[in-house]
Structure 1
Amino acid sequence: MRTGQAFIEVDKVDPAILKIRQLAAQVGGYITNSSVSGGRDQIRQATLELKIPAPKYDQAVGSLSTIGKVETVNSTAQDVGEEFVDVTARVNNARRLEDRLITLLNTRTGKLDEVLRVERELARVREEIERYEGRLRYLSSRVATSTLTITVHEPAPILGNNPGENPIARALRRAWRNFIALVAGVIASLGVVIPLALVAVGGWVGYRRWRRRQISP
């Protein structure tokens, strides 16, 4: 059971989505989930989840370069063979028990409560068989099908959000605004510091005069 994830850079998302759908059809797969995102100040991207026949997985991965610039591809494999063997053995054991209970029920001539007890046990065993068989069907489908999730995104803008805007000019304007804000902050601070300094100087001068009068005879 193999799963993979790929990230691809493309010029435009919409044509890339069409190529992914074509790739899925070429390898006999199909798309189960898809999402497209992108808005103001965001890079547009799309994610599609493909279900691919297991023998065609490598072919699909090898064809990713036809969609755009492949950035990363990660693949993992999970061995479910041991679980498959274990569940199969449980099904066989449950079926043998089912056969014995059916035989016992058909030949039972005892009390009614004993017959009902056998019927309840038979119902429980059959429920287990259905659960095991469902798990086997699930494992079989997972082994036969691989999952490949493809995310495509457009390139990050080089010149900023506004077309034609020079990033150097934008940086200079930002630096100038920061400088003006700094000067304004200094002036605002001086508006508080200077009056306090004048009060302090006046107090110091008054104190010196008072001291001289105290010292003079």
Structure 2
Amino acid sequence: MRPLRSLALLLLAAACSDRPAGVSAEQHAMMDYAAAAASEPAPPAPQSLAAPKAAVGLGRQAGGGTGPSLPAALPGAGGVQQSAMIIRTGTASVEVRALDSAMVSVRQLATSLGGYVANTSTHGGRDQVRAATLELKLPAARFESAISGLEPVGAVESVNVEAQDVGEELVDLEARIANARRLEARLIELLATRTGKLEDVLAVERELARVREEIERGEGRLRYLRTRVAVSTLVVSLHEPHPILGRTDNPMAEAWRDAWRNFVALVAYSIAALGIVLPVALVLAGIVMFVRRAALRRAAVNRNGAPGVAC
């Protein structure tokens, strides 16, 4: 027993000699545990945290700068580039020799570019120049080709092009629709697990209907804007040359021409007025003749039928 007791004392003395002065056994054990934990390799970072670091590193390598750069495509943007979301509308005025053939040429131009003619209007008259207006719906990528294709049709007098950038509105609509869909999913889940009063269930259903209506309205507006971006509008106005008689610089000739036109117009109006004046005059003449004959007959009766004076 004594040899074993002496061996235990020697081991305890060795342990105390390795511990620093003023440090208890418990503190020394905690220090050993901390050192062992620090010597172990660190666990790998989660994939959700490591991905942003890799993206930032790629941005630095591509940009060549010291600061982090944003990724090329943001999540939730739906692949929409704001700079490409442009609605273009234009108007063009063209003077042509023959209106009918020019309208056929414009229709063929729209068909060859993958578009179509939406609306057409023509007008003209006896003293007016024949003209027509055609509204073309064309692919946005071929809008410039349509404008340049008007040169063979006739003399292009004016071209006006307007551009409207709707990229910001498209991104905003997509974000609202995504939030509304998340809210719709939560309401459906709440409706499926709801076991309360009937009023609460009806309130959830009303809110769900409102959210779905908002989603449908946003999707409709989104489809409309995408269609307007994909299809451009070009309104082409065609007109024939003005008559040569109207292009004179002699004021005297123009005055004589106006006087002759006014005289012809006066004669025409007078002839047209006879259709009203002549029947009225005949009726009035008949009445006058009837009254006059009645007066003469009455006078004759009074003169012949007067009683004589008795002697």
**Shared fold per TM-score greater than 0.5:** yes
Task: Work out whether 1:41 is the aligned partner of 2:127.
Answer: yes
Query: Structure 1, residues 124-172: CA drift from partner, whole Å, max 9, x if none?
Result: 1000000000000001101101000000000110124xxxxx9975644
Indicate the RMSD between aligned Cα atoms, in angstroms. 2.2
**Structure 1 residue 66: Cα displacement:** 1.1
Secondary structure at 2:119 match in 1: strand
2: CA distance between counterparts of 1:173 and 1:21? 40
Aligned residues: 173
The amino acid across from 1:2 in the alignment is: R
Q: Decide which of 119, 132, 138 is 2:205's aligned counterpart.
A: 119
Task: Work out whether 1:128 is the aligned partner of 2:214.
Answer: yes
Structure with max Cα Rg? 2
Aligned to 2:112: 26
Aligned to 2:77: none
The 1:104/1:170 distance shift into structure 2, 3 A limit, reads closer
The 1:168/1:155 distance shift into structure 2, 3 A limit, reads farther
Query: Structure 1, residues 14-67: CA drift from partner, whole Å, max 9, x if none?
Result: 111000100000110011111000011001100000000000001001111011
The 1:176/1:159 distance shift into structure 2, 3 A limit, reads closer
Q: TM-score, normalised by structure 1?
A: 0.75
Task: Work out whether 1:79 is the aligned partner of 2:165.
Answer: yes
2: CA distance between counterparts of 1:40 and 1:167? 23
Alignment of 1:1-217 (within 5 A): 1-160=87-246, 171-172=255-256
Does the CA-based 8 Å contact 1:48-1:150 persist in structure 2?
yes
Does the CA-based 8 Å contact 1:4-1:147 persist in structure 2?
yes
The amino acid across from 2:134 in the alignment is: L
2: CA distance between counterparts of 1:124 and 1:9? 54
Does the CA-based 8 Å contact 1:159-1:167 persist in structure 2?
no
The amino acid across from 2:225 in the alignment is: L
Gap runs ≥5 in structure 2: 1-86, 263-311
The 1:168/1:158 distance shift into structure 2, 3 A limit, reads farther
The amino acid across from 1:29 in the alignment is: G
**Structure 1 residue 173: Cα displacement:** 6.1
The 1:48/1:175 distance shift into structure 2, 3 A limit, reads closer
Query: Percent of pairs identical after alignment?
Result: 64
1: CA distance between counterparts of 2:92 and 2:162? 12
2: CA distance between counterparts of 1:76 and 1:33? 20
Secondary structure at 1:66 match in 2: coil
2: CA distance between counterparts of 1:174 and 1:117? 78
Moved segments of 4+, more than 2 Å: 166-178
The 1:83/1:174 distance shift into structure 2, 3 A limit, reads closer
**Structure 1 residue 105: Cα displacement:** 0.2
Question: Which one has more relative contact order, counting CA pairs under 8 Å at least 6 apart?
Answer: 1
